[in-house]
Amino acid sequence: MAGFLQQLVEGLGAGAVYASLALALVLIYQFTGIVNFAQGEMAMFSTYIAWQFTVAGLPFWLALVLTLAVSFAGGMLIERIVIRPVEGAPELTVVIVTVGLFIFVNAAAGWIWTFLIKDFPNPFPGGAVEAGGLSVGYSTLGVLAVVAVVMGLLYLLFQHTKVGLGMRAVAANPDSARLVGIRVGWMLALGWGLAATVGAVSGILVAPLLFLEPNMMGGVLIYAFAAATLGGFDSPAGAVAGGLTVGVAETLAGAYVGFIGSDLKVGVPLAIILFVLLLRPQGLFGRAVVERV
Amino acid sequence: MSTDSFLTISDLSAGYGDARVLHGVNLSVGRGEICAILGPNGAGKTTLLRALSGAVWTRGSVRLDGAGLARRSPDAIARRGVAHVPEGRGTFMPLTVEENLRLGAFTRRGRGEVEADLDRIHGYFPVLKTRLRQVAGSLSGGEQQMLAIGRALMSRPRLLLLDEPSLGLAPLVTRELFRIVRTINEQERTTVVVVEQNAHLALDIAQQAHVLESGRIVLSGSADEIRADEQVAQSYLGYRV
Amino acid sequence: MRGPAEVTDGPARTDAPARGRALARSITPVRRRWIAVAVLLAVACSLPFQLVPFRVFQFTMVMVYAVALLGLNLLVGHAGQISLGHGAFFAVGAYAAAIMLDRWDLPYPLTLPIAAAVAFVLGLALGLPAVRLRGLYLALVTLAIAIFLVPLLKRFESVTGGSMGLTLAKPAPPAWTGLAEDQWLYFLTLAVTVLAFLLAHGLLRSRVGRALHAVRDNEAAAEVMGVRLPFYKTLAFAWSAMFAGAAGCVYTWVIGFVSPDSFVVTLSITLLAGIVVGGLGSFSGPLLGGLFVMFVPSISQDINDAAPGVIFGLLIIVVMYVAPTGLAGLAGRVARSTENILRKE
């Protein structure tokens, strides 16, 4: 039983990371109906920026704040420059453009920082809290706390600020949002900026667990897709719940299903994506959409 | 009416993509007036309002109190004091009634004023006050229309555009709604352009009216003149003079 | 509609205008296409005798990619569905062939139809759930499949050789041909490529092709019009998987080695880049895409390891903005404007 709880806690820790990237995906999907295939790569790039800051001698938390600011601006710029021209284009076109962005950002990071792996400092102390036979690492607790803080801040932003209200209005009905004088284009850019920021957090959380390298986020992206699919692509709360669920499912499957083991764990998100899409395509928390001819 | 023209539309053409719907519309509305636009389905009434609020392409000129509106973006036009209540109301369904109303005042500053305006709207539409925390999607059709008009008023518009406010509403509700629009117009001196199928109602509250057919104005005059016109009576009012 | 070629193309104008005009008139578009194909084939047949073995190998690989892109083009360009996991079908074909050659010592010509069939059946099986997915989700699922395949291949070591992969003997040229190994492989691949193009051509001209176009242009409307949507979407997925599988099989012949790390998700994404840049929905798109996928990396790698990726990524985005029909579309435009010049003279 203790062993099971231990796995559960570790699953939650992993899940929190997926949740944060899923949150980034959902932020963009809500406003634009786009699934940003480059989200993971953007997060990876942000993580390199943070690494560069720490290498330059900045204390970790200052590097974090600077990185988030740069990521926010970068996300907005990408929306203005790359996504703007295909706004309203067929889904296929938009997906291909974000895949192009995926390849470009990945390669650009390799060009700038090479494909050699780098150590990324862990902001949390080693060691663990021991309680009732359970051992919860500080870094697991730290990751969970960070994701909770991000969630809380987003909640405050959307529910209690005017800008947040405007963004929700754009997500609900862009045409009406224009009619009440909201600059919809800027709100979309803001959405991308926010998503890039939240994504950066997930990259920075992942990097100490894996190694920092340009392909770091490829696997995480699939888990985040599974999380967002499970929670519903239009529900931020669902994305977080989905992320935690996927993390736990993956850890338990790896530990208790002998056939899966650690190397086939990546089949878990694939299975989740398939099952959810076939049984309940809108996800657990999402709204069903009727398509028009 | 030409002596104090508040909204002046000259030679306005508009449409969607390759399709041109309006062909050189001219009309002007005096400050504080209610102007009714009548006409059959497909005449371009909705397109006219959409042209005024910048949602379709336009050629020609639109002036509001002397300042040009044509070819500005919808949000820029909204910030210049034009509030458009679109056909089908355009409420933000997943948001609460209060959030919908506050969005109406999105472009305004000054918290105190916004709170005062909320009270003012509740005065016009008491039912909204009881529904503040509900999501807009759960309201009845009439309540949604009230919400949409209330949201428009929250921006303190200089020009209010109403597109088929009676659509899908019970006759009693519609009458009430038009009464309120009249009150708003009288109390706040808001200039109103209303597109309406129900010509009786529209002519009752309007000072002047225009009949639009196939994208052109075919008849203009005071509400009484239009009501007295034989053609209009037959086509839109359902009786002979 | 003045293309750049109209302004720059001089020679045809100064040469012999009268003859040019007569020529242009006598060549109908259909006939012109066949002439182009014949010229292309002639060039293709002479290539291996003109080039050094390494170049011959590169052109062989261009054709391998072209066959895979032909399949992807069917799906993305003609049916409007997206796959970010076509590398997986390519890998399945490659491994199917490798296992048949390695375990059962089958003669290699037999491996082609079997590998293609395996990929087809797998495409059918995956296509069944996939057709219920909207475009976006199909992209998600196929990407996940491509990522999942690599650990799967490593896991079943007894069959697949695990991380070490399988090394095989390449098909040897029969003595009567007098060809070197690289030339023989080249011609084998050329034969498969021609076959694949003919097959794809036939497919698109059939009822299936028309149904696919209807699906691409407006899925919901096509359904209302009575196109049996799930059936054709599944079929498109299976056909395109089959082409990718066939390409994978030929890849195994040519390389003589398969390992999981040859089929990482990058392959799938590279294939998508190839068909987008080559030209979605066009007939020459897969060939141009193959050239692009083969030569851009090998040329640009000298600048930086990451240069191919940067170029791929940028080009995909730029192509989607300015020339959604890709290189094939540009080539078509150039050809048309050249012809216009001939006509006008």
Residue B19: inside a domain: yes
In a domain, A285, yes or no: no
Report chain B residues touching chain A, CB-CB < 8 A.
53, 55, 73-76, 78-79, 83-84, 86, 90-95, 99, 102-104, 106-107, 151, 155
> For C215-263, what is each residue's pLDDT tens digit?
676 666 666 665 566 777 788 888 888 888 888 888 888 777 777 777 7
> Comparing C-alpha atoms, which of A207, A261, A242, A234 is closest to residue A18?
A242
Q: What residues make up the domain containing B190?
A: 5-84+157-237
Q: What pLDDT, on a 0 to 100 scale, did the predictor assign at position C240?
A: 86
- Residue C247: what pLDDT? 87
Distances A165 to A102, A146, A261, B82, B96 between C-alpha atoms, Å = 30, 24, 45, 21, 11
pLDDT for the residue numbered B241: 45
A169 interfacial to chain B (CB closer than 8 Å): yes
Backbone angle region of C326, left / alpha / beta, with phi > 0 → left and psi within -120 to 50 → alpha: left
Cα(C21)–Cα(C23) distance, rounded to whole angstroms? 5
On whether any CB of chain B is under 8 Å from the CB of A279, the answer is no
In a domain, C12, yes or no: no
Number of separate domains in chain A: 1
For chain B, how many structural domains are there in total?
Answer: 1
A9-41 per-position pLDDT tens digit: 888 888 888 999 999 988 888 887 788 889 999
Contact present, A and B (at least 3 Cβ pairs less than 8 Å): yes
Contact across the interface for A95 and C308, Cβ inside 8 Å? no
Query: Minimum mean pLDDT among B46-60, C159-173, C192-206: which range?
Result: C159-173
Strands B191-195 and B34-38: parallel
Angle at A143 between CA A138 and CA A148, to 5 degrees: 125
- Residue pLDDT, tens place only, C79-88: 777 888 888 8
What contacts C64, CB < 8 A, 6 or more positions away? C189, C247, C250, C251, C254, C290
H/E stretch holding C193: helix C181-205
CA distance B13 to chain A (A): 21
- Among the residue ranges A26-40, B138-152, B182-196, C287-301, the one predicted with the least confidence is C287-301
Burial call A195-210: b when 16+ CB within 10 Å, e when fewer:
bbbbbbbbbbbbbbbe
Subunits with 3+ Cβ pairs within 8 Å of C are A
The token pair at B85 is 């209540």
Nearest beta carbon to residue C314 from set A85, A104, A218: A104
Burial A6-26 (b: 16+ CB within 10 A, else e): bbebbbbbbbbbbbbbbbbbb
Is B144 contained in some domain?
A: no
- Closest chain C C-alpha to A13 CA, distance in angstroms: 22
Any idea what the CATH number is for the domain that residue A134 is in? 1.10.3470
Question: Residue A186 corresponds to which tokens in the numbers above?
Answer: 């800027």
Query: Quick check: do C and B touch, 3+ CB pairs under 8 A?
Result: no
Q: Look at residue C341 in the predicted model and tell me its pLDDT.
A: 66
B108 burial class (0-12, 13-18, 19+ CB within 10 angstroms)?
Answer: middle
| Confidence label for C190 from pLDDT (cuts 50, 70 and 90) | confident
pLDDT of C115 over the 90 cut: no
Average pLDDT over residues A108-115: 87
Amino acid A291: pLDDT: 38
- Judging contacts by C-beta atoms under 8 Å, the chain C residues touching residue A281 are 132-134, 137
Which residues make beta-bridge pairs with A30?
none
Nearest to B90 among A166, A173, A182 (CB): A173
CA distance C308 to C301: 6
How does the average pLDDT of chain C come out, rounded? 74
pLDDT-based confidence at residue C134 (cuts at 50, 70, 90)? low
Q: Which residues of B touch A166 (CB under 8 A)?
A: 103, 106
Residue of B nearest to A183 (CA): B75
Chain A residues with beta carbon closer than 8 angstroms to that of C129: 274, 277-278
- Asked if the C-beta of A160 comes within 8 angstroms of chain B's C-beta atoms, the answer is no
Of residues A35 and C155, more confidently modeled: A35
Beta-strand relationship, B208-213 and B216-222: antiparallel
In a domain, C40, yes or no: no
Chain A residues 183-222 within an 8 A CB cutoff of chain B? 183-184
- What are A135's strand-pairing partners? A130
Which residue of A lies nearest to C305 if distances are taken between CA atoms? A111
Give the residue numbers spanning the domain of C98: 55-265
Give the C-alpha separation, C213 to B1, whole Å: 57
Shortest distance between the Cα of A100 and any Cα of chain B, in A, equals: 30
Task: For residue B90, give the chain A residue with the closest CA.
Answer: A176
CATH of the domain at B26: 3.40.50.300
- Do B78 and A180 count as a contact with CB atoms less than 8 A apart? yes
Answer whether B103 sits within 8 Å of A175, measured CB to CB: no
Name the more confident of B78 and C267.
B78
Residue A207 pLDDT > 50? yes
Residue-wise DSSP of C3-17: -HHHHH--HHHHS-H
Q: Could you tell me if A97 lies within 8 Å of chain C, comparing CB atoms?
A: yes
pTM to 2 decimals? Answer: 0.82
CB contact under 8 A, A168 and B79: no
Least CB–CB distance from C144: residue in A102, A105, A270: A270
Position C155 confidence tier, pLDDT thresholds 50, 70, 90: confident
Burial class of residue B54, CB neighbours in 10 A (0-12, 13-18, 19+): buried
Give the nearest partner residue to A91 out of C135, C143, C309, using CB atoms.
C135
Please give the mean pLDDT across all residues of chain A. Answer: 85
pLDDT over 70 at C10, yes or no: no
**Vertex A125 angle, CA A120 and A129, to 5°:** 135
Mean pLDDT to the nearest integer, C154-181:
71
What domain range is A47 assigned to?
2-279
Test A172 with B104 for CB contact under 8 angstroms: no
Cα distance between the two ends of chain B: 26
Q: Is residue C117 part of a domain?
A: yes
Neighbour subunits, A (≥3 Cβ pairs < 8 A): B, C
A173 in contact with B, Cβ within 8 Å: yes
Torsion, Cα A196 A199 A200 A205, to 10 degrees, reads 170
Residue of A nearest to B54 (CA): A179
For range B156-182, the mean pLDDT:
87
Q: Is B206 contained in some domain?
A: yes
Q: Confidence band (pLDDT; 50, 70, 90) for B180? A: confident
- List of chain A residues whose C-beta atoms are within 8 Å of the C-beta of residue C316: 96-97, 99-100, 103-104
pLDDT score for C344: 60
The alpha-carbon gap from C277 to the nearest alpha carbon of chain A, in Å, equals 11
Within a domain: B221: yes
Instruction: Quote the tokens at residue C155.
Output: 């896991």
* pLDDT for A46 beyond 90: yes
Number of Cα atoms under 13 Å in the Cβ half of residue B13: 7
Which residues of chain B lie closer than 8 angstroms to A181, CB-CB? 75-76, 78-79, 106-107, 155
pLDDT in tens, B39-57: 888 888 899 999 999 888 8
Q: What pLDDT does B204 receive?
A: 87
B95 and A162 within 8 Å at the Cβ level: the answer is: no
In this prediction, residue C5 carries a pLDDT of 37
Tell me the residues of chain A between 5 and 24 that have a Cβ less than 8 Å away from chain C: none
| B115: in domain | no
Would B151 be classed as within a structural domain? Answer: no
Closest residue of chain C to A37, computed from CA coordinates: C140
Residue A293 confidence (pLDDT) above 50: no
**Is the pLDDT reported for residue C14 higher than 60?**
no
- Spatial CA neighbour of C297 closest among C329, C263, C251, C266: C266
Q: With 50 as the cut, is the pLDDT of residue C12 above it?
A: no
| Interchain pair A181, B155: CB under 8 A | yes
**A chain contacts of residue C260, beta-carbon cutoff 8 Å:** none
Confidence label for A262 from pLDDT (cuts 50, 70 and 90):
low
Chain A, chain B: beta-carbon pairs less than 8 Å apart:
68
Put simply, whether A179 touches B (Cβ < 8 Å) is yes
User: Quick one: pLDDT at residue B34?
Assistant: 92
For C301, name the nearest residue in chain A, comparing CA atoms only.
A111
Flag if A291 and C220 touch (Cβ within 8 Å).
yes
Task: Give per-residue pLDDT as tens, C35-65.
Answer: 777 777 777 667 767 777 777 777 787 888 8
Task: Provide the number of structural domains found in chain C.
Answer: 1
What is the predicted pLDDT for the residue at A92?
77
Q: Which of A99, A111, A114 sits opposite C272 (nearest CB)?
A: A99
